[in-house]
Structure 1
């Protein structure tokens, strides 16, 4: 028994005619008659009482009609659900990897909880990698460092701005200061964040001041850098929003530039979903 047989059976039953049923099912009358005869053979019982002008369902035919309608309706529902699944709302987000993972996780978790119908696909990457993902159209938008003065097609939405600060272990001899210069850091064991997007700028400033930092550890993972500071391995220059109860953060006298963090996207693709996510993100606080 196949679905097209049931559909032709229902068409004939409701039309009380093989001719009208065939027209309704968009098949020839001989094809419909053959299909129903095959169905009767499979069922092992007669479904119609045939005469010259019309056909009438037998008791067995009436029972099958009820079941056939249910089966056809269920198949139509399944098809509709699968079609909806194929066009499920989705977002592809790139996130710069110099954002505190706790804050990013909080944003993603809250969004997913309040928008379960949206498939959110997140990619963690460096700023250079995010730009590549954007050019290759592998993400819809990015939560990243916004570069001022750089020609960009599309839109930018600032989420927050922050300076870079010096992270010190609690009890460090400089931890009580409000501000510190590069020259005062020269002798301190230093943890270098190799993926920092302002690394080149900091390098130029150090060169201008004639300061060479005492690098004892290099890492491209911020959670490691923070942990190393916490246990006293060294100090580090980090974005201000990183939070830890085991470190002190003080300003850098020689580095006044702030970075802007926000959303960046191009084109009109998925524009409505992107704007909804951006608006939602503004309701989630970022620690400073």
Structure 2
């Protein structure tokens, strides 16, 4: 069954006149009549009653008209949907966010994308460490990652969005909790709550390097995978922590955030995609990301 046959039948059924239907379809009347005959032969039923004076629908034709209209409408919708996906105005993307970006970038970007690109369905995954995001990009379970570099796999492209200082997270009962700024060296005797070691977290390495630069290595530390857990552990008095400044958007009762005095080591936030990804949806989200957060550095 051809769509042109359905369109021809609907035109004749609505006009109840072959001449007017032919004009509407911009074709000659004989080919139109032939298409209706071919459709009736294919279906094995008579759809129209023709006479010299008028054209009428048979009961079967009246029933088929509703179905033909639905099929044509569905086809038009499918074509429009395909065009919207091909142009990047519709589709589905999976976005991953590193711990601190989960409480800062993710809500801000999600709101902007919902307004600007309502046709793109977003699956947002928070608290994803950089190595996990890299794996997700490579195995195509993730389309865009917001992570902490370095991420040097040749299969992905990484663009720095911003750099931010590390800050201290202290229990509100800590002797330095009321200070306007904290010297990192003054935390040398405190147990630390850190992200995962053994190159599973970029921020872990940055924390250890910052401590070593002022003359100590945290001897007692508890490792956690999620930022919310890290701040909650600090709030419960189990230790102190260093985190990227954007983590202060996560408010947890019992934890206070304080800047570090003097020069502090910055950590970068980057956006990562598969190398040479042709997806127009990815391109549109990246464009909106750069407009919102600043272009790649």
2:25 counterpart residue number:
none
Does 1:282 find its partner at 2:284? Answer: no
Shift of 1:228: 2.6
Q: Which runs of 5+ in 2 are unaligned?
A: 23-27
Shift of 1:171: 4.5
Residue 140 of structure 1 contacts residue 270 of structure 1 at CA under 8 Å; is this kept in 2?
no
What is the rounded CA distance, in whole Å, between the counterparts of 2:7 and 2:105 in structure 1? 56
Residue 182 of structure 2 contacts residue 258 of structure 2 at CA under 8 Å; is this kept in 1?
no
Cα distance change on mapping 1:252 and 1:118 into 2, 3 Å:
same
What is the rounded CA distance, in whole Å, between the counterparts of 2:155 and 2:242 in structure 1? 32
What is the rounded CA distance, in whole Å, between the counterparts of 2:212 and 2:174 in structure 1? 26
1:83 counterpart residue number:
79
Shift of 1:223: 0.9
Shift of 1:116: 1.3
Cα distance change on mapping 1:146 and 1:152 into 2, 3 Å:
farther
What is the rounded CA distance, in whole Å, between the counterparts of 2:234 and 2:286 in structure 1? 38
What is the rounded CA distance, in whole Å, between the counterparts of 1:33 and 1:100 in structure 2? 60
Describe the SS at the equivalent of 1:83.
helix
Aligned equivalent of 2:46, options 39, 45, 64: 39
Provide TM-score, normalisation by structure 2.
0.68
Provide TM-score, normalisation by structure 1.
0.69
Residue 166 of structure 1 contacts residue 235 of structure 1 at CA under 8 Å; is this kept in 2?
yes
What is the rounded CA distance, in whole Å, between the counterparts of 1:178 and 1:147 in structure 2? 29
Aligned equivalent of 1:120, options 119, 122, 146: 122
Describe the SS at the equivalent of 1:234.
coil
What is the rounded CA distance, in whole Å, between the counterparts of 1:174 and 1:72 in structure 2? 75
Cα distance change on mapping 1:67 and 1:156 into 2, 3 Å:
same
> Counterparts in 2 of 1:191-210, with a 5 A limit?
191-194=193-196, 196-203=201-208, 209=215
After superposition, give the CA deviation of every residue in 1:247-268 in whole Å (9 maximum; x if it has no partner): 0323176x83211113233214
Shift of 1:34: 4.4
Residue 188 of structure 1 contacts residue 234 of structure 1 at CA under 8 Å; is this kept in 2?
yes
> Counterparts in 2 of 1:1-288, with a 5 A limit?
7=8, 10=12, 14=18, 20-21=31-32, 23-24=34-35, 34=41, 38-39=45-46, 47-49=49-51, 57-58=54-55, 60-61=56-57, 72-86=68-82, 87=85, 88-101=90-103, 103-124=105-126, 125-147=128-150, 150=152, 156-175=158-177, 176=179, 178-182=181-185, 184-194=186-196, 196-203=201-208, 209=215, 211-215=217-221, 217-243=222-248, 244=251, 246-251=255-260, 256-265=264-273, 266-271=275-280, 272-282=283-293
What is the rounded CA distance, in whole Å, between the counterparts of 2:44 and 2:147 in structure 1? 67
What is the rounded CA distance, in whole Å, between the counterparts of 1:205 and 1:146 in structure 2? 16
Deviates more, 1:12-21 or 1:237-246: 12-21
Describe the SS at the equivalent of 2:246.
coil
What is the rounded CA distance, in whole Å, between the counterparts of 1:36 and 1:211 in structure 2? 82
Describe the SS at the equivalent of 1:142.
strand
What is the rounded CA distance, in whole Å, between the counterparts of 1:154 and 1:22 in structure 2? 58
What is the rounded CA distance, in whole Å, between the counterparts of 2:154 and 2:50 in structure 1? 71
How many residue pairs get aligned? The number is 262
